[in-house]
Amino acid sequence: MLDIPSPVRVDVETLLAAQNHMGVCDAFAQYAPVGKPDAMTAPHFPKVAGIDSTVPPPAHTVAPASPTPAPPPSSSAAPGALIQDRLAGWVSDLTTLHELTERLARTATLDDALHEMLRAGAALVGARRGLLALEPADGLGPDTTVGLGLARSDLGHLETVPRAATSYGQILDRAEQSDKPEVHADLLSEDGLDPRHREVAVRLGYAASFALPLATTAAGRLGAVVWLYDEPAEPVERQRHLVGLYTRYATEHLARMLELERTRAKSRTIAEELLPSRLPRIADVQLAARHRTGPRGGGDWYDALPLPEGALGLAVGSITGSGASAVAAMGRLRASLRAYAVMEGEDPVAVLSDLELLLRLTEPARSATALFAYCEPALRKMVLAGAGHSPPLVIGERRTEFIETSLSAPLGMLACWEAPSVEFSPEPGETVLLYTDGLLHRTGDPMDRAFARLHAAAVGVPRTIRDDPGAIADHILHTVLPDGLDAADSNEDVVLLAARFE
């Protein structure tokens, strides 16, 4: 046993003997870099617990000439101290990788994951800037390019460089999949460098690059990532080893996020296709609609359909659940309401009664809210009925108020649904706004405060836009849901249907 004057005692013989058995040293050896830590051109990486969430400045911008090898340890040096330093370096590297992968795993969207991977990789290789080109080999997309420390105009300049002349382009165009990096330690001194690439590199101020492919066994090629150095440089062996380990994990995570993003996009597309592609043109009334679908796809819907004798049917509704099954159920419910409206639209109570019976027989595990209005624009007359739905809002010069409808349970909640309808006559120039509860729920406020916020937004509609139902709907949407809440990912869909009567 060596007596090492250190907070940690190391039993050298026990440590060396343990290397022949499965244990902690095997884990260290698995992640140990090939070169010695002392051979790095950059200072030793701090533990990630001390790394700021933003990308730290690069450890170096110029790689010195061949690093001076460390002098051999003197005979007086304690063997235990050397082993202790090596173990400390390995533990620091493992801690760094663990923290960076934890931060990546906490990303909720594909875009967040792409930016987090760029930041973490830049910290590992000692670079300040970079870009990631996502281009799945299956051609299903999405294809995108994100940058780190590069403005949108900088990315535009890079796109003018011939693809085959860029390091990421060379990776993406490889005939065979390979994990070999593309290293350009002194880009501007290379013979045969594309003139446009040289011009852009000088303009943007980078002189070296290090690129890695992004690929998995299951998903194949996903894209390529490249980090840019301000001056001639390249990662040393230890940095390459660490960024290689991180990139392999990050690529698997990107593949999962990519599949999730594609599923969400399909759900949104299906939901949008099940809604009206355009609103009808009806005399004496102007129509506008706004729809925001949550990431999993929800069951909120709207409809506006011409009826016999110049009448118009307006409807909004929401079915319980989310995802593909809720979207499909929403499509069936909307199609059924259209059929009932054509047959007996002048009686909204009969329309909703038929819809309730159909829902109870075909979708017994679901419930739905709905509001249907039979409009005669020439007479400025509306007859409407609601089943557990929020009351419409009328917006005009002389009044801004909710149209009181009879209280009723949602469809599918009672053995037999029926509630009286109400008749309403809008004044010339007034707009009737139909909406779903998602508009209120996304505020995060209790319902009474959410209704008050909606009413205040309607009162505050500027006079200059009161003759445009689309502008009114946009104003209310952005006022009730400020700071991007109208576009943020949420489990709540939002539907607004505005009808302005002449």
When pLDDT is cut at 50, 70 and 90, the band that residue 297 belongs to is low
Neighbours of 398 (CB within 10 A): 7
Comparing 79 with 344, which gets the higher pLDDT?
344
* Between 364 and 456, the higher pLDDT residue: 456
Superfamily covering domain 274-501:
PPM-type phosphatase domain (3.60.40.10)
Burial 114-148 (b: 16+ CB within 10 A, else e): bbbbbbbbbbbbbbbbbbbbbbbeeeeeeeebbbb
Indicate the DSSP class of residue 282.
B
Element (H, E) at 496: strand 494-501
**pLDDT grade for 48, boundaries at 50, 70 and 90:** very low
CA–CA separation, 192 and 187 (whole Å): 10
State the span(s) of the chain assigned CATH 3.60.40.10.
274-501
Cα(151)–Cα(64) distance, integer angstroms: 29
Residue 65 CB burial class (10 angstroms; 0-12, 13-18, ≥19): exposed
- Residue 242: the pLDDT is 93
Mean pLDDT across 306-329: 89
Say if residues 367 and 385 touch (Cβ distance below 8 Å). no
Q: Average pLDDT for residues 244-270, to the nearest whole number?
A: 89
DSSP assignment of 369-427, as one string?
EEEEEEEEGGGTEEEEEEES-PPPEEE-SS-EEE------PPBTSSSS-----EEE-PP
Of 68-82, 147-161, 359-373, where does mean pLDDT reach its minimum? 68-82
Residue 498's H or E segment, with its range, is strand 494-501
* Helix or strand run (H / E) with residue 452: helix 447-459
Q: What is the pLDDT of residues 196-239, one digit of tens each?
A: 999 999 999 999 999 999 999 888 999 999 999 999 999 999 99
- The CA distance from 137 to 251, in Å, is 14
Q: How confident is the model at residue 85 (pLDDT cuts 50, 70, 90)?
A: confident
* Beta-sheet strand order (sheet of 494-501): 285-292, 494-501, 431-435, 393-395, 400-402
Ranges of CATH 3.30.450.80 domains, the chain:
24-60+81-261
Query: Considering the chain, what percentage of its residues have pLDDT values greater than 70?
Result: 83
**Tens digit of pLDDT for each residue in 359-401?**
988 888 899 999 999 999 999 999 999 999 999 999 999 999 9
Residue 481 has a CB neighbour count (10 Å cut-off) of 23
Angle (CA) 278 282 285, round 5°: 105
The residues with which 145 forms a beta bridge, in sequence order, are 133
Which residue has 């609601």 as its token pair?
386
Task: Please say whether the beta carbons of 384 and 403 come within 8 A.
Answer: yes
Three-state secondary structure string covering 74-94: CCCCCHHHHHHHHHHHHHHHH
pLDDT at 159: 92
Tokens of 80: 């235990």
Number of residues written out for the chain: 502
User: Angle 195-204/152-159 helices, nearest 10 degrees?
Assistant: 170
d(CA 337, CA 329): 12
Please indicate whether residue 178 or residue 348 has the higher confidence score (pLDDT).
348
Average pLDDT, the chain: 83
User: Among 109-123, 235-249, 281-295, 453-467, which stretch is predicted with the lowest mean pLDDT?
Assistant: 281-295
Q: Which amino acid is at 359?
A: L
Could you tell me the CA-to-CA distances from 106 to 110, 147, 459 in Å, in that order?
A: 11, 20, 41
- Exposed / middle / buried, residue 283 (Cβ in 10 Å: 0-12, 13-18, 19+): exposed
pLDDT at residue 178 in the model: 82
- A 10 A CB-CB count for 4 gives 17
What top-level class would CATH report for the domain 24-60+81-261? Answer: alpha beta
Cα–Cα distance between 447 and 86 in angstroms, integer?
61
pLDDT at position 465 is 95
